[in-house]
Structure 1
């Protein structure tokens, strides 16, 4: 299958931490998370701040990489992209879902890494 786009993003956790300090984690989460991701976010109520920041940063990086991989084919919003776990893999393998109302017919492959203060994501879109 032909590759139609690639996208990558790197993000400092310090940047996301500063954003959530200005308002709150919940405010930032409401701004960037899809409905499906928001349901997972609800399970993070009692989790320490650093894990909340990492959760949000990973989703931010994946969404940015997805936008880059699908431009100019689609004009996505934050809430059009969901980072989920692949239900068929039986593991924590990342899976990207695009809002079905957009009719996206591309297969998206994602890799995520985090080390220290950084999160990185790489997305490949194929036909």
Structure 2
């Protein structure tokens, strides 16, 4: 059963401007530790790739917050929601701390998609209720 749907579009140029103005502090506020490491590596090789990476994660976290119906209020937090990848490469949501507990209590699982193209990043998230299997 669908719990909620969220989508977001982000202007990569806006993210680049935030990084130029605030430096790494902006990325540190938005990205979980694993994402921050990847962002640093990509930014060091090619800053534009770093901006795209940060923009897709920003958009996904916004879409996720809309799908779960909380927006950016507790227990939702930028760093408590992480975009990971399944072994197949498919993006997935990894939750941490209080957000993980909140989602677990509601038996939520997520289907996500993200993409970027030159100036924009877009993300889509479906939160679905998947009751535990009873034997």
Tell me if 1:6 matches 2:8. no
Distance, in Å, in 2 between the alignment partners of 1:100 and 1:86 is 20
Q: 1:31 Cα deviation (Å)?
A: 1.1
Partner of 1:122: 124
1:11-26 pair list within 5 angstroms: 11-24=10-23, 26=24
Distance 1:52 1:72, change over 3 A: closer
State the Cα RMSD in Å. Answer: 1.8
Partner of 1:77: 77
Distance, in Å, in 2 between the alignment partners of 1:14 and 1:46 is 18
Spell out, residue by residue over 1:32-58, the C-alpha distance to the aligned partner (whole angstroms, 9 max, x if none): 111232233343352211011001001
Q: What is the total number of aligned residue pairs between the two structures?
A: 122
Distance 1:46 1:12, change over 3 A: same
- Return the TM-score normalized by structure 2: 0.82
Any unmatched runs of 5+ in structure 1?
A: none
